[in-house]
Amino acid sequence: MNLVHFDSLCNDCCFSTTLESKQLAEQSIYQFIEDIRNIDIICQIIQQTQSGSTLFVISEYIAKIVVSERSFKGFSSSDRSLSEGQLIVGQFQYREENDVLSKKCRVYETLVQLFCASLQKQQENHVQNSICNLVGLLIQQIMMFSSNQFSKFKLVFNSFFQGNQPYLLSIGLKLVQHVLQNLQLYSSYDSYVSYRKIMFQFQNSDILDFMSTVCTVLKQCTQNLYKPALASLKDILMFNFNVSYFELESDFDPNDQNNVSFPEKFAEFFNDRQLVELLFKIVALYSQSDSSLALLALKSLKRMASSKKRIFTEKIKKRLFAKEMYQGCIFLFEKVQQANEEIISDILELNTKLNNCFGLRQIRFDFTFSQQWLYSLQTFCVQILQKQMKIKDPHMYQMIELMKKLVKFITDFKLDITFKQSISKAISEISKSIIHLLLNSQNSFFQGYTPQNHKKLKHTLKEFFENLFPILSIDLTSHIKMIYHSFKNAAQDQEKFIIELSLINYIVINPQILEKNSEEIVQMIQTVIKDSLTFLQVSTHNLPPLVIMSAMSLADNLFQFALSESDESIGRQRSNKAFFDNFIKPIQIQPQQATNQLLQFIILQLQIENKEIIEYALVIMKETIVRLKHHLYNEAFQSSNVVTQIKGVLLNLKNTALQKDTFLSCRTLASEILSILLFDTAYENYIESIIQLNQFLTIQPTQQSILIYLYEMLGYFRHVDTSKIFRLLIKQHLLKIAELTRFILIDNPQQFQMCKLCLKLMVAITENKSLRYQYHSSSVVQIELVRTFQGILTSYLQHLINAIQDEKVKQEFSAEICRLVGLIFKIMNNILKGKYISQTCQLLFADRKYLDLLITSLEITSKISNYIIMYNKTCLQVVQVLQVVSSSQLQLFELNPQSLSTLMVIIENLQKHLLRQLSQEYKTSTISTYHQPLDKVTLDHTTDIVLSILEFVSEEQQLTQMGILQSFVQPLDPIIELILQELLLCLIKGQCSQQTNLKITRQVFAIMCTFQQVFVAILSKVLLRSDQQLDASQLQILTQDLDLRIKQQNEEQFKKNFNLFMKQFGI
């Protein structure tokens, strides 16, 4: 192949407008480059070509071959006779391997030289990046194969840094980055030992040359080269110096390392005052005009600040470096105030890392300088807070982390008292600013928070204030006074109210305050709690929902402390008991006053017409009951004042908002609490409890009464899982539930809400573990229950099938129908997993209820499969049922052969969607190779189902061919054609990961074994033009060394054969 022809092919590969010419060009180029015997011609092309496209294509394909498992073809050692090879097999094999490796190294070294020479000429940006990446990869491979150090490539690299030409300097810096990146890529090594050896060799010698070169360039270069120079410096400093026996690329993040074990010689660079000052100046100069430059400089400074002190052999040098860094921080505090959040956050993190690794001890002898740093830090923090103060801002987190680090210095015995007092004062001033701005800022802290996500807001506030507490504890008295005065004069402002309540909840009512137990603090806290209890007595109906929920959170917190008075065993947590004795007990006029008052406040919230507030009140009650149940004996629990009050309220909900239609769903949670109160007790009490409960579980012939009954039963069946209690409960209510579900699902199927509720109740019943055989294998409860449910569900599904024949109904109600079908499959799933009843036994007794349900559910799924794929939960339930059916129940379809085709249609549609999704994820590199989520349908699921069906079909075919019986399996050719075509196209386009590739290959092999004619036809159609057929010699490669049976050893061989087969077509 000559230069002109090769340039033309590369041009077609990059710019051709037709897919066919692109594929032909790619195939020709790949086959030519892959054969190492063409290396001399390739080298000539690299030297002579004037086309950037040619260099780019060669570079990309060589990189692809080097990192893939295929490697180059044609590497062979010098010829030896067979007899000699047989005599010294071990030696011959060893020599041959060594010979191949040395040839590889020579080829790779030549390519490095040639490509570096090509970079001496001006190239486009994408060509530069591709070649630099390849050079880095080849150098890593040479170092791994030959154990050579990087030193042999120094001359080539140094050529880019001579003469101070901007273009060559930028290329040299790019090469540095790519070499570093490839050396640290663990997956490119052939063993763990090779990886560690190269890493240690490189960081102890060659990286110092890189560092020296880059620092020299950075100090001398113009503004245009700052970006590549800073990027290279950052990559050098981010090198994995801390490489340990367990830190590989899968779980290693250099940013997580607090202390970095730089080589000792790095101390020389860190003591280079000109370099350090330049980095700080770049941050200050570009913090507004070019933040990317400022961030690169800051990342390098942060890494330098994370160095272990031992790299400095002399104390004076260590202190000089620390002082230079602190001086730079003062410079940034004064110059950088208008920058973006990320820069502000990084400046604060730089100070935190500096204090972590070096500490204020290094500057303690220069009192004036240390005071200047503290004052500058204080001024900087206060100014930043005044400009922007939001709880979840990254710079807020970094500021608090820095303050927490400073708090620890207050106890450092090496710092004198005056210095410690200065630290305390600075922390106190910043803390006051935080509290003041929290209470008075006009910014919106809670934008996007609603009652629906109050739980998230609560966790955010709790985490923030608990993090803030160690800083506020330095001057706790003044902070509590600020909180108290603000709360006493509370305005009707939602955000201010929430902040005040949260401050009381997490700062004032905090057991850690016991450590600061001065008389003034005790009196202040008692006053705040007294006022809080007074506030919680007043009706909160008119306040915004988020404020009410914050007040409930405060009441809940106080309530947990107050409980330790009435129930002594809860006082096992000494801090809770001590807090109650010190701060709550002295302000009570009578015993249990706080407990009763707070409980009444929580119960009162059940009257507020807001679902989230009602549910929050019920959650507080449930957690309280569970806590009391855990700590108290049964008699003490039943006689507890708190338990009696909660039980009384929940058994009579007529005067609460739960009586209204909008909030009936909250009764499920109320029923769960009642089931803990009534049934989780000694067995002798449960019959009385059921009799007591049945008096309340009555149904009136009204929609509201039916809904109340269903919601409450849902709560009981979700929670009661003690076998004896559950069976008595189900026997009492099964007939009633069956009548209701028939009435709703069959007679009134258009009532979506009630239908959904009925199906949820069925899910709860079938999910209950008390039904399973291991508890009562002789009971007929589960048999009757399953038969009843199956009949009702089949009729309901038939109604849905009739309804969706109207295309308008199908589109308008697709979301509701998909969710309902998902619940039905969930019920089937529970029945199959629980093994309540043998489906084959049903058929023996001429009972087709299960089969009818299965056939109907498959029919509706196939009709709405285009909609179902958008609902992951429904998809997962469908697939889990189909897995069971395909693995052990396909014989049932003998009574309805068409259903097997329906099942295959569903899987084909689902798998088509999955392959499209996987291709998209592969393109955007968002796919995870480490784990597959458990709650998501994956290609594993569909592969298992397809393989199970094809194994079954294969067995049926064999029995038919032997004349034993006539198979009931109808022709599946059209569906198999679609499945195979989708799988092959995904493979050919190369838009899938290695794991996806393996799953696809398994399915392709199973189809080849079962549907040979379809396989050959589709393979020819996909790989060749429509008028051509694959010949026998090409197909023979696929069947070499295997027999056409679906077995694991055959699958393994087919993978190898299939790769060889596809290489014929350049794939």
pLDDT in tens, 600-619: 999 888 888 889 999 999 99
Confidence grade of residue 779 (pLDDT, cut at 50, 70, 90): low
The residue with greater pLDDT, 898 or 495, is 898
Of 474-478, 580-584, 662-666, 667-671, the least confident: 580-584
Helix axes 454-472, 545-566, angle to 10 degrees: 60
Residue entry with tokens 């023979």 = 1036
Of 642-646, 925-929, 1009-1013, 1063-1067, the least confident: 925-929
- Cα angle 898, 902, 903 (rounded to 5 degrees) comes to 115
Give the residue from 910, 900, 851 showing the smallest Cα distance to 878: 910
d(CA 86, CA 1008): 39
Residue entry with tokens 């050692």 = 77
d(CA 473, CA 431): 10
Give the residue from 1015, 993, 989 showing the smallest Cα distance to 1003: 1015
Asked if 1045 and 977 sit in the same domain, the reply is yes
Residue 703 lies in a domain: no
d(CA 266, CA 269): 5
Residue 675: CA count within 13 A, CB half-sphere = 20
Return the SS3 of 151: helix
Amino acid identity at 780? V
Share of the chain above pLDDT 70, in %: 88
d(CA 329, CA 349): 11
Q: Which of 110-119, 564-573, 625-634, 1025-1034 has the highest mean pLDDT?
A: 110-119
**Long-range pairs, 1057-1060, Cβ under 8 A, ≥24:** 1058/1001, 1058/1004, 1058/1005
Q: What is the total count of domains within the chain?
A: 3
**pLDDT higher than 50, residue 931:** no
Residue 607: CA count within 13 A, CB half-sphere = 11
Residue 154: CA count within 13 A, CB half-sphere = 13
**pLDDT higher than 70, residue 335:** yes
Last residue of a domain, one of 589, 608, 627: 608
Q: Specify the pLDDT at position 843.
A: 56
Contact 1046, 1005 (CB under 8 A): yes
Across 866-887, average pLDDT: 89
**pLDDT higher than 80, residue 878:** yes
Residue 893 lies in a domain: no
Confidence grade of residue 929 (pLDDT, cut at 50, 70, 90): very low
DSSP element (H, E) containing 912: helix 898-924
Q: Specify the pLDDT at position 233.
A: 93
Q: What is the DSSP string of 153-186?
A: GHHHHHGGGSS--HHHHHHHHHHHHHHHHHHT-G
- Cα angle 684, 687, 688 (rounded to 5 degrees) comes to 90
Return the SS3 of 895: helix
Last residue of a domain, one of 578, 593, 608: 608
Helices (H), 990-1031: 994-1010, 1012-1023
Residue 197 tokens read as 């050896």
Residue 356 lies in a domain: yes
Q: Specify the pLDDT at position 582.
A: 82
**pLDDT higher than 80, residue 183:** yes
Asked if 414 and 502 sit in the same domain, the reply is no
- Cα angle 509, 596, 450 (rounded to 5 degrees) comes to 55
Confidence grade of residue 164 (pLDDT, cut at 50, 70, 90): confident
Asked if 927 and 1040 sit in the same domain, the reply is yes
Contact 749, 799 (CB under 8 A): yes
d(CA 840, CA 891): 9
**pLDDT higher than 80, residue 624:** yes
Residue 952 lies in a domain: yes
| Alpha-carbon distances of 981 from 714, 907, 930, 1020, rounded to whole Å | 47, 14, 28, 11
Helix axes 781-803, 849-863, angle to 10 degrees: 30
Asked if 435 and 458 sit in the same domain, the reply is no
Asked if 346 and 432 sit in the same domain, the reply is yes
Residue 979 lies in a domain: yes
Across 884-893, average pLDDT: 86
Asked if 391 and 322 sit in the same domain, the reply is yes
The residue with greater pLDDT, 35 or 98, is 35
Amino acid identity at 642? V
Confidence grade of residue 247 (pLDDT, cut at 50, 70, 90): very low
State the sign of the Cα–Cα–Cα–Cα dihedral 279, 281, 287, 290: negative
Asked if 430 and 469 sit in the same domain, the reply is no
Across 677-702, average pLDDT: 69
Across 1002-1028, average pLDDT: 82
Beta strands in 124-277 (DSSP E): none
- Cα angle 660, 664, 669 (rounded to 5 degrees) comes to 135
Domain that holds residue 981: 923-1063
d(CA 355, CA 470): 17
Contact 507, 535 (CB under 8 A): no
Asked if 422 and 273 sit in the same domain, the reply is yes
Radius of gyration of the chain (CA): 37
Residue 1014 tokens read as 């379809």
Q: What is the DSSP string of 637-661?
A: HHH-HHHHHHHHHHT--TTSGGGSG
The residue count of the chain comes to 1067
**pLDDT higher than 80, residue 120:** yes
Contact 595, 563 (CB under 8 A): yes
Residue 1054 tokens read as 């087919």
DSSP class of residue 508 equals I
Asked if 430 and 468 sit in the same domain, the reply is no
Q: Specify the pLDDT at position 249.
A: 40
Give the residue from 947, 965, 948 showing the smallest Cα distance to 956: 965
Residue 641 tokens read as 């004042």
d(CA 91, CA 78): 14
Across 810-836, average pLDDT: 85
Q: Which residues contact 158 (CB under 8 A, 6 or more apart)?
A: 213
Asked if 401 and 333 sit in the same domain, the reply is yes
Asked if 478 and 430 sit in the same domain, the reply is no
Mean model confidence pLDDT for the chain: 82
d(CA 444, CA 974): 60
Return the SS3 of 260: strand
Q: Which residues contact 644 (CB under 8 A, 6 or more apart)?
A: none
Return the SS3 of 35: strand
Residue 480 lies in a domain: yes
Residue 433 lies in a domain: yes
Q: Specify the pLDDT at position 257.
A: 47
Return the SS3 of 76: coil
Q: How many CB atoms lie within 10 A of CB 8?
A: 14
Using a 10 angstrom Cβ sphere, with 0-12 exposed, 13-18 middle and 19 or more buried, the burial of residue 174 is buried
Contact 741, 793 (CB under 8 A): no
Q: Specify the pLDDT at position 76.
A: 60
Q: Could you read off the pLDDT of 397-425 as tens digits, one per residue?
A: 889 999 999 998 888 878 888 888 999 99
| Alpha-carbon distances of 532 from 470, 568, 620, 906, rounded to whole Å | 23, 24, 18, 60
**pLDDT higher than 80, residue 784:** no
Confidence grade of residue 964 (pLDDT, cut at 50, 70, 90): low
Residue 962 lies in a domain: yes
Last residue of a domain, one of 558, 593, 608: 608
**pLDDT higher than 70, residue 774:** no
Phi, psi angles (nearest 5°) of residue 448 = 95, -10
d(CA 803, CA 823): 18
Confidence grade of residue 81 (pLDDT, cut at 50, 70, 90): very low
Share of the chain above pLDDT 90, in %: 16
Largest CA distance in the chain: 106
Across 1021-1031, average pLDDT: 71
Q: Specify the pLDDT at position 82.
A: 39
| Alpha-carbon distances of 648 from 6, 219, 642, 660, 788, rounded to whole Å | 89, 79, 10, 19, 36
Confidence grade of residue 1028 (pLDDT, cut at 50, 70, 90): low
**pLDDT higher than 90, residue 830:** no
Beta strands in 38-158 (DSSP E): none
Q: Specify the pLDDT at position 745.
A: 85
Across 949-957, average pLDDT: 86
Q: Could you read off the pLDDT of 84-94 as tens digits, one per residue?
A: 444 444 455 55
Q: Which residues contact 936 (CB under 8 A, 6 or more apart)?
A: 872, 876
**Long-range pairs, 384-389, Cβ under 8 A, ≥24:** 384/337, 384/344, 385/430, 385/433, 385/434, 385/437, 386/433, 386/437, 387/337, 388/341, 388/443, 389/434, 389/437, 389/438, 389/441, 389/443
DSSP class of residue 307 equals B
Contact 1038, 1008 (CB under 8 A): yes
Q: Specify the pLDDT at position 147.
A: 67
Asked if 421 and 541 sit in the same domain, the reply is no
Helices (H), 651-780: 667-679, 686-696, 703-719, 723-741, 752-767
Q: Could you read off the pLDDT of 712-766 as tens digits, one per residue?
A: 888 888 887 677 777 777 777 777 888 888 888 888 777 888 888 899 988 888 8
Q: Specify the pLDDT at position 859.
A: 92
Phi, psi angles (nearest 5°) of residue 776 = -145, 85
Q: Specify the pLDDT at position 569.
A: 55
